[in-house]
Amino acid sequence: MDIHKAYYNSPIGKIEITGNDEGIISVFFIEENIDKSPSLLASDNFNKKESSKVITDCIQQLDEYFASTRRQFELKLNPEGTEFQKKVWSKLIKIPYGKTKSYLDIAKQIGDANANRAVGNANAKNPVSIIVPCHRVIGNTGELVGYSGGMWRKEWLLNHENSAVFGKQIELF
């Protein structure tokens, strides 16, 4: 099965999107410098007309998310992970736009209040940033903790969503 790849210029950095006909495999922030525009950046073999529909749909929905016109993604997902990780990620998708949940909240939702650390580890291994909103998971006392894309991005994403919901940014600290 062919894997398609595209690069996306977001307001908070470059994103590499990979997917196949089964769905989006990953959405990762990358630190490599890609000096091209517009928001869709092409790998050498990427052709928008021939690319996987799931990749072009993802790009369109990311555009809408960053423009504050999309609050929920409607994409086929195909991330690789353990059954436990997938169980955690399925709970993350249900966290509403502009809201947060703690690691303990997620652990309780999967039926094991003692699984805080395991939930944190699964959250950290989420391969589909933004779409599976691991940025909406905070510490049990309300503090911002851990984000593989960088804490400044987590803060930006939460402010972006709160600005769209409440018309203003919130103070996170």
From CA 111, how far away is CA 88, in angstroms rounded?
Answer: 11
**In the numeric block, which tokens belong to residue 124?**
């950290």
The H or E element containing residue 28 is strand 23-30
pTM > 0.95: yes or no? no
Q: List 5's β-bridge partners, or say none.
A: 18
User: Considering Cα of 90, then 96, then 97, then 99, what sign does the dihedral take?
Assistant: negative
Just give the CATH number of 83-166: 1.10.10.10
What is the tens place of the pLDDT at every residue in 50-108? 468 999 999 999 999 999 999 999 999 999 999 999 999 999 999 999 999 999 999 99
Q: How confident is the model at residue 10 (pLDDT cuts 50, 70, 90)?
A: very high
From CA 69, how far away is CA 91, in angstroms rounded?
Answer: 23
**Which own/partner contact pairs does 157-161 have at CB distance under 8 Å and 24+ positions apart?**
157/12, 157/130, 157/133, 158/100, 160/66, 160/68, 161/71, 161/97, 161/98, 161/136
What 8-state DSSP symbol labels residue 96?
P
Question: What does the pLDDT read at residue 163?
Answer: 82
Question: What does the pLDDT read at residue 46?
Answer: 43
Residues acting as catalytic residues: 134
Question: What does the pLDDT read at residue 45?
Answer: 39
pLDDT at residue 47 is higher than 60: no
pLDDT at residue 32 is higher than 70: no
